[in-house]
Amino acid sequence: MNHKARIIRRQGNDVTVTRYVNGIPTSYDTKALIGRMNKAVTNMKQLESFKEGIFLPDVDIDSGDFVRNHSQDENYVVSGTHFEPFKNTTLSVVCNLLKCNHLLTIKSLEKVADARGNLKNELVVKVQGIPCFVEKVTSDLRQIEAGIHPDTEYRVYTTALSVKETDQVALVIQGQEKTFKVTATDYDTFPKMLVLEVCSDVRK
């Protein structure tokens, strides 16, 4: 065991890593050093939202996985990974982490039979309780990133769930569950992740 791995085992936080495959989660427990992503960052929001996780060299962790930090009672989604090399060995796996400040529910329109056997479209829960990072779309952000859909109110970062533009998204915002419709989906910017653009939805 290399010296970095010994430090992680001795001083690391107890964490649970969860990966969703076809909507089904699998988890395992391990140790990791969790800290600020970049010591040069001074923006308070970025300090709070962006973390770095240093994992044991043999840990199977990838973009789109979730990390539960038990000591801080926080969830993160992995937005990128790289190996920390030394000579002919790997000291650790370093992960960029986005702190998940909300839980996501996805509902899809499905044909459902009523008591008389008549088919009608209803919103049916597909997945729920999925951790996500939510970013409010401001005029400043639109100036930096011109490609954001004109109706978009929030961007939602999570694992690469299968989402259609006819789906409804539910998020708890400031203690209240609000429903949104999908304005855009992006599976390309972050491998194995989904970036959803959403705006308010009045469907029940």
- Which residue, 99, 115, 133, sits at the end of a domain? 99
137 touches 157 (CB < 8 A): no
For 94-146, what is each residue's pLDDT tens digit? 999 999 989 999 999 888 888 888 888 888 899 888 999 998 888 888 888 87
pLDDT at 47: 58
Confidence at residue 182, expressed as pLDDT on a 0 to 100 scale:
95
- The pLDDT assigned to 194 comes to 95
pLDDT band (50, 70, 90) for residue 78: very high
Strands 102-113 and 119-136, by their bridges, are antiparallel
pLDDT of 64:
95
- Which residues constitute the domain of residue 183? 102-200
User: In this structure, what CATH number is given to the domain that contains residue 84?
Assistant: 2.40.10
Q: Which of 78, 99, 120 is the last residue of a domain?
A: 99
pLDDT for res 173? 74
pLDDT of residue 86: 85
Residue 86 and residue 119 in contact, taking contact as beta carbons nearer than 8 Å: no
Mean pLDDT of the region 164-193: 89
pLDDT surpassing 60 at residue 90: yes
Same domain, 86 and 56: yes
CA–centroid distance for 117 within its chain: 39
39 with 77, same domain?
A: yes
Structure tokens at 107: 């509902």
| Tokens coding 102 | 């909300």
Q: Decide: residue 102, CB within 10 A, 0-12 exposed, 13-18 middle, 19+ buried.
A: middle
- Residues 22-73: tens digit of each pLDDT: 878 999 999 999 987 765 555 555 557 889 999 999 999 999 999 999 999 9
- pLDDT for residue 201: 82
User: Which of 76, 99, 122 is a domain's end point?
Assistant: 99
* Averaged pLDDT, 79-107: 91
pLDDT number for residue 99: 93
What pLDDT sits at residue 69? 96
Band (pLDDT 50/70/90 cuts) for residue 174 is confident
Instruction: Please name which of 176, 173, 180 lies closest in space to residue 201, comparing C-alpha atoms.
Output: 180
Residue 15 is predicted with a pLDDT of 96
Q: How many domains does the chain have?
A: 2
